[in-house]
Homo-oligomer: A and B are copies of this chain.
């Protein structure tokens, strides 16, 4: 039996969700892929199971509708587009009570996704905390990660800033970051998620200029 926490990935059929699911499943975490459609979730889960077999890794992978996925897991990861963020919080609110919710949301507002437009609460992560209530521990991470590189299982150069109001839950998320092959660094309280969320638009601007998939690295840590 695995001693690793089980993880549900809400919106787990998108690019970032798929990338995280692959890396965590390969690292031995039990994964439930969540989607609005249980059928899509099941198809994704079957694809991931096939990948595990191919790599010779045994693992537990399932697919379910988002609420069912959330209910089953120790850690619930949000990887939905910002346009679906508020609605999804209302949808999963009851099922995530008492749990650690890892929010990866960058509050991009089309069509100007290269321009920082942080929400009224200061950050998407803080609005997640407000919507889910005090009985949920929200931690923020992964906003600056190139989803395509993650999904393709390429080596990752960048670091991941991890913000949250409970240090022990940030430490649990830093373990999850390390399981993806990246370095996770505690970046302060949940309000500091504003930095990573704003960086997403800066990185989009840079990607357009350099035709690349940029990330950020912390330097000078001795």
Task: Report the bound CA distance from A211 to B222 in whole Å.
Answer: 8
Give 1 or 0 for each of A182-207: 1 = CB within 8 Å of chain B CB: 00011111011011001101100110
Interface residue count on the A side (C-beta < 8 Å)? 42
Which residues in chain A, 95-132, are within 8 Å of chain B measured between CB atoms?
A: 114-118, 122-123
On whether the beta carbons of B192 and A205 are closer than 8 Å, the reply is yes
Task: Report the bound CA distance from A209 to B161 in whole Å.
Answer: 13
Instruction: Confirm or deny: A147 has a beta carbon within 8 angstroms of a beta carbon on chain B.
Output: no
Q: Which one of A115, A149, A219 has the greatest number of beta carbons of chain B within 10 Å?
A: A219
Instruction: Confirm or deny: A221 has a beta carbon within 8 angstroms of a beta carbon on chain B.
Output: yes
Q: Which one of A191, A202, A206, A210 has the greatest number of beta carbons of chain B within 10 Å?
A: A202
CB contacts (< 8 Å) of A214 on chain B: these are: 218-221
CB contacts (< 8 Å) of A217 on chain B: these are: 216-219
Q: Which one of A122, A123, A146, A205 has the greatest number of beta carbons of chain B within 10 Å?
A: A205
Task: Report the bound CA distance from A222 to B194 in whole Å.
Answer: 27
Instruction: Confirm or deny: A39 has a beta carbon within 8 angstroms of a beta carbon on chain B.
Output: no
Instruction: Confirm or deny: A94 has a beta carbon within 8 angstroms of a beta carbon on chain B.
Output: no
Task: Report the bound CA distance from A187 to B114 in whole Å.
Answer: 9
> Looking at the complex, which one of B188, B199, B209, B218 makes contact with A116 (CB distance below 8 Å)?
B188
Selected A-B contacts with CB under 8 Å, 14 pairs: A116-B122, A118-B122, A146-B220, A157-B219, A187-B206, A188-B202, A192-B205, A195-B195, A199-B199, A206-B221, A212-B222, A213-B220, A214-B219, A217-B219
Sample of 18 further A-B pairs with CB below 8 A, known A192-B201, A195-B195 = A116-B192, A118-B122, A118-B194, A161-B202, A186-B205, A186-B209, A187-B206, A188-B202, A195-B198, A195-B201, A195-B202, A206-B218, A206-B221, A211-B222, A212-B221, A214-B219, A216-B218, A217-B217
